[in-house]
A and B are shown apart, each in its own frame.
Chain A
Amino acid sequence: MSLNVEHASVRTLPSEKPLRLLDNAGHAVTGSATGGFGLPDTETLLELYRKMVVARRFDVQVTALTKQGRLATYPSAYGQEACEIGAVAALAAEDWLFPTYRDSIALLTRGIEPADILQSFRGDWHNGYDQHAHRTAAQATPLATQALHAVGLSHAARLRHDPIVALTFLGDGATSEGDAHEAFNFAAVWQTPTVFVVQNNQFAISVPLERQTRAATLADKAVGYGMPGYHVDGNDIAAMYAVTSAAVERARSGGGPTLIEGVTYRIEAHTNSDDPTRYRAARDVEHWKRRDPIERLEKFLVSEGALTEAMRTEITDAAEALAARTRDVMTTEAELDPLELFDHVYGRERAALLEQRAALEAEIAAGAFASHEGAAR
Chain B
Amino acid sequence: MTATATSTPAAEASAAPTQLTMAGALNAALRDAMAADDRVIVYGEDVGPLGGVFRVTDGLQAEFGDQRIWDSPLAESGIIGTAVGMAMYGMRPVVEMQFDAFSYPAFEQMVSHVAKMRNRTKGRVTLPMVVRIPCAGAIGGVEHHSDSSESYWASTPGLTVVMPSNPADAYSMLREAIDSDDPVVFMEPKSRYWSKAPLALPVTTAPMDRAEVVREGADVTLIGYGPTVRTALEAAEAAAAEGLSIEVVDLRSLSPFDDETVGASVRKTSRAAVIHEAAQFGGYGAEVAARVTERNFHHLAAPVLRIAGFDIPFPSPKLEEYHLPTADRVLAALDTWEWDA
Q: A2-B67, A153-B89, A178-B105 are in contact. Are A131 and B121 (CB under 8 A)?
A: yes
Contact of A186 with B120 in the complex, beta carbons under 8 Å: no
Interface residues on A, range: 35 or more
Distance to closest chain A CB from B15 (angstroms): 30
Residue of A nearest to B121 (CB): A127
A346 to B157, CA, bound (A): 9
Give the residue of A2, A131, A166, A352 whose beta carbon is less than 8 angstroms from that of B125: A131
Give the residue of A142, A183, A346 whose beta carbon is less than 8 angstroms from that of B78: A183
Contact of A148 with B82 in the complex, beta carbons under 8 Å: yes
Distance to closest chain A CB from B311 (angstroms): 27
Q: A178-B77, A186-B78, A344-B118 are in contact. Are A149 and B88 (CB under 8 A)?
A: yes
In chain A between 246 and 283, which residues have their CB closer than 8 angstroms to a CB of chain B?
Answer: none
Distance to closest chain B CB from A202 (angstroms): 26
In chain B between 96 and 126, which residues have their CB closer than 8 angstroms to a CB of chain A?
Answer: 105, 108-109, 112-113, 116-126
Contact of A1 with B70 in the complex, beta carbons under 8 Å: yes
A97 to B77, CA, bound (A): 20
In chain A between 136 and 159, which residues have their CB closer than 8 angstroms to a CB of chain B?
Answer: 137-138, 142, 145, 147-157, 159
Give the residue of A130, A145, A185 whose beta carbon is less than 8 angstroms from that of B75: A185
Chain B residues, Cβ within 8 Å of A186: 72-73, 75, 78, 82
Chain B residues, Cβ within 8 Å of A137: 88
In chain B between 30 and 68, which residues have their CB closer than 8 angstroms to a CB of chain A?
Answer: 41, 66-67
Contact of B85 with A154 in the complex, beta carbons under 8 Å: yes
A3: Cβ under 8 A from any B Cβ = yes
A182: Cβ under 8 A from any B Cβ = yes
Interface flags, A1-43, vs B, CB<8A=1, else 0? 1110000000000000000000000000000000000000000
Contact of A160 with B89 in the complex, beta carbons under 8 Å: yes
Contact of B41 with A159 in the complex, beta carbons under 8 Å: yes
A374: Cβ under 8 A from any B Cβ = no
- Can you list 30 A-B contacts (CB < 8 A)? A2-B66, A2-B67, A127-B120, A132-B125, A142-B113, A145-B112, A145-B113, A149-B81, A149-B82, A149-B84, A150-B85, A152-B82, A152-B86, A152-B88, A156-B86, A159-B91, A178-B75, A179-B77, A182-B75, A183-B81, A189-B73, A340-B122, A343-B122, A344-B121, A344-B123, A345-B158, A347-B123, A348-B180, A348-B182, A350-B256
Which residues of B line the A interface, CB within 8 A? 41, 66-67, 70, 72-73, 75, 77-78, 80-91, 93, 105, 108-109, 112-113, 116-126, 157-158, 160, 180-182, 209, 256-257, 259-260
